[in-house]
Amino acid sequence: MAPPEEPVFFVAAELDPNLVTPGVVGFFATFFIAGMTVLLVFDLVRRIRRSRYREEVGILLDAEVAAGEAAEQDRQAAN
């Protein structure tokens, strides 16, 4: 029976830094992901703002319709 092999540990000094670093491709990939994240955040903020404005306009329109109906009922009651 053969003795178990010992695990191989790499020492940082033995590694070639050009093979370990992500390089230019890694930089561009990270830059692309960061840029897309920023664009998504801007789009999300725009959509939330638009939704909030639509809700506010809906509330104002509902109030206007209710006021118009109340005025119509007052006119009919006065006649």
- Quick check: 61 pLDDT over 90? yes
pLDDT classification of 21: cutoffs 50, 70, 90 = confident
Residue 21 CB-half CA count within 13 A: 6
Quote the CA–CA distance of 11 and 77 in Å, as a whole number.
Answer: 93
- pLDDT tens, 39-49? 999 999 999 99
**Residue 26 falls within a domain, yes or no?**
yes
What is the per-residue pLDDT for 11? 61
**Residue 72 falls within a domain, yes or no?**
yes
Segments forming the whole domain that contains residue 31: 13-78
Q: How many domains does the chain have?
A: 1
**Residue 24 falls within a domain, yes or no?**
yes
pLDDT classification of 74: cutoffs 50, 70, 90 = confident
